[in-house]
Chains A and B, each alone.
Chain A
Amino acid sequence: MLFFIEVTLSGMMAGVMYSLVALGFVLIFKASGIFNFAQGVMALFAALTLVGLMEKFNFPIWLAIIGTIVVMIALAWLIERIMLRHLVNQEPIILFMATLGLAYVLEGMGDILWGSDVKVLDLGIPQGASDWMLDSFDIYIEKLEIFAAVTAAIMVAFLAVFFQKTRIGRALRAVADDHQAALSVGISLHTIWVIVWSVAGIVALVAGIMWGSKSGVQFSLSLIALKALPVLILGGFTSVPGAIIGGLIIGVGEKIAEVYLGPFVGGAIENWFAYMLALAFLLFRPQGLFGEKIIERV
């Protein structure tokens, strides 16, 4: 039983890490209807920039983080200016392919600017097992994962306040609801897109920091986007809480399946189990758990 709890808990923690990436997808999809495949590469790019600023220019941590945020905002502005502005009103699949192209560009740029070797990201985030949990409950949990969970909670709370209480947040929700109606009441789509991509960039930075601290900053970081996709379809493309809860379900399901089912089929089922789980959910709720109900008219 204790082992089961430990597996479940570690699954939840891993799920939170997936949610961090999925969150960025949701933000952009909500505001512009773009399925942004570059989110994973954005996380890699942010982490690379952070490490690069710290190593090559000897920035202190806080300055490096601010610097990276500035870079991500500049990137968002560039993406809007060069790419999105010209692709207004295109088919979703075209926009999706454009973000794939963007992923290639960012990947190549990150490698050229900061080098393609594996880097260690050390921001002083506590590492190793949590002694308190180990002593009092005999459960092994990484400190880093607890830290990530707390960060995710803070970030979601912050995003909720930002979306519900601020003027910009209201404009964002208006755009998400209906592009044309938002335009007609005087909301600038271009500004909103820059803001959304900036926020997604910052979320990517947080995800990049967490994953980078866990397993080093390297190319494989961009592949976490693939891990976030089942989370996304499970929770629904348009729901922030969906991203979190989807992440938890996927994380737990994956870990339990790997531990209890894996040995019978030869292991390493983590790669596809999440997708199959999401697929099974989708057959009952085609719009995901929390997605808006799909209403179709002729």
Chain B
Amino acid sequence: MIYRETGQFKANYQDDQALFPIAQDRYVILVILLITFGLVPALLNEYWLNAILLPFLIYSLAALGLNILTGYCGQLSLGTGAFMAVGAFSVYKLMVAFPGIGFIPMVVLSGVITAAVGTIFGLPSLRIKGFYLAVATLAAQFFLIWLFNKVGWFFNYSATGMINAPPMTIFGAIVTGPKADPIAKYYLVAAFVAVFALAAKNIARGRIGRNWMAIRDMDIAAELIGVRPLIAKLSAFAVSSFYVGMAGALYFAVWLGSAEPTEAFDINQSFLVLFMIIIGGLGSVLGSFLGAAFLVIMPIMLKNLMVDGFGTTSALAEHIQIIVVGVLIIGFLIVEPHGLARLWRIAKEKMRLWPFPY
């Protein structure tokens, strides 16, 4: 009743091509943006901002990136962790070498560097497909992490092999390093995520996005109707790595502050982000957010519930947490293999027809 497009007439091309053609969608997005930028920093304390919202937003960005590659273009990748590492190390080198260019250009630039690396590792996708490709992207995962561990230039020859984010400021507020202001950090990351989520939504419905989806649905048929697989696949790898690289840069510089390649960017990161898009919904921008929210918040909740609520030891709680996460993943896949975004779509359909069943 509330959510329906009845009476909303599209009178010109602009209306017809709007990003959110239904007025209610626009209002919802506006409200979400208002809450994100207005209410949340005012209401929530530092723990919430730092431990929950920051990782949620950063993982959403990474999930968006992987969703472009896997959800829209159908190329399964297990190298997300390594591409995040590329972003992190690029932003580190930029921060140390050119501190003058400002933090936001640095993050974008590290995304560009990651896009270049991702395109190179996307080349095998032109020849191999499916799980063979997934295992091939593991080559990127292991090779890049090894590289960051072995070549001293990447971590400026520090004795521990760790990289530490030097303090950077935006408009006078410190956003990286130990003295960073949590609210400034939150605003920075939220702004990045908002801008690039809208960009992703826009890319996905345009010509490039349609090419990707054609490749995903059937690459040979797509080739026959004139989609060039070389350009479509490599552009998917490039755009996806661009997002993942920025997520990696923010993950290291803003959230962690210091990182070590084998620990922070190992293969479990790749799996985690993949889980996010599967549970959230493949080929859906909303799904990337839902999946990231689910997998960031749920383990924290579980742990708090068990350690504080039932008084279990933290070691046992960790094991139980692993089991519960595994069971939930299997359960989700059985109940709704198309992810949380699909549930939302079904709900929207129902709302359109309400109060009639069909």
**Which residues of A are at the interface with B, using a C-beta cutoff of 8 A?**
35, 82-83, 86-87, 90-94, 96-98, 100-109, 111-112, 116, 226, 229-230, 232-233, 237, 265-266, 268-269, 271-272, 275-276, 278-279, 282-283, 286-288, 294, 296-298
Contact = CB atoms under 8 A, between A and B. Distances in A.
A279 B275 contact: no
A271 B142 contact: yes
A83 B330 contact: yes
B278 interface: yes
10 contacts: A83-B330, A94-B337, A97-B329, A102-B330, A104-B322, A108-B319, A112-B316, A266-B150, A279-B124, A279-B139
A83 B146 contact: no
Contacts of B135: 229-230, 232-233, 275, 278
A104 B323 contact: yes
Looking at chain B's contact residues, is the secondary structure mostly helix, strand, loop, or mixed?
Answer: helix
Nearest to B147: A272
Given A97-B329, A104-B326, A229-B138, A298 B127 contact: no
Interface in B292-344: 315-316, 319-323, 325-330, 333-334, 337
B129 interface: yes
A104 B124 contact: no
B136 A275 contact: yes
Interface stretch (B92-100, B217-225, B245-253): B217-225
A232 B131 CA distance: 10
Given A101-B327, A104-B323, A233-B132, A275 B142 contact: yes
B330 A101 contact: yes
A102 B322 CA distance: 10
B130 interface: yes
Contacts of A98: 329-330, 333-334
A94 B76 contact: no
B136 A92 contact: no
Contacts of A287: 132
B27 interface: no
Contacts of A90: 333, 337
Of B138, B325, B326, chain A has the most CB atoms within 10 Å of the CB of B326
Given A35-B131, A107-B322, A298-B224, A276 B143 contact: yes
Interface in B261-302: 267, 271, 274-275, 278, 282
